[in-house]
Copies of this chain bind each other. A is one copy, B any other.
Amino acid sequence: MELYLERGYEQTTVAEIAERAGLTERTFFRHFTDKREVLFGGSSALQELFAGAAAEAPDGATPIEAIAAALEAASEMFEGRREFACRRQSVIAANPELQERELIKLASLATAMAHALVRRGVSESAARLMAEAGIAVFRVAFDRWVDPHDELSLTQLIRESLGELRSQLVGS
């Protein structure tokens, strides 16, 4: 990660990453399939976390309450990893290919949450709508969280964004 920041993602080789981490290339490839994996390795775990928390929300929870539960579970996982998240964000912001990968990852998180809602009996279109809106809330909150000028916790920022979305929609 430090190397991505120092030299740029494109210019960093797996050999250099392994050397900096005190690993052989062989060991590197036992942990990661490629250098992109260093940034996106947690994607499937995150997907399970979002979908799992939405699925396990109490029976009487409305779709948006299930989504809120998923976002809170994710934010708990991220708290304490802010420094890594900030660095990762800088690397991604500097590389359009990684931004595309991040978009695709976020879309798959939305799909996973939508499936969890459908299994709760929510209609397909309402589920997609709520899941996409939930991811929008997550992204906006996450971007504020990794901003060095913002002091709130990710959980607080998620609640604030969700409240903002609600008041914007209701106010009209």
Contact = CB atoms under 8 A, between A and B. Distances in A.
A161 interface: yes
Given A132-B140, A136-B129, A170 B164 contact: no
Interface in A157-172: 161, 164-166, 168-172
Interface residues of A, number: 32
Interface in A131-172: 132-133, 135-137, 139-140, 143-144, 161, 164-166, 168-172
Given A103-B103, A104-B103, A136-B136, A129 B62 contact: no
Interface of A: 62-65, 68, 100, 103-104, 107, 125-126, 128-130, 132-133, 135-137, 139-140, 143-144, 161, 164-166, 168-172
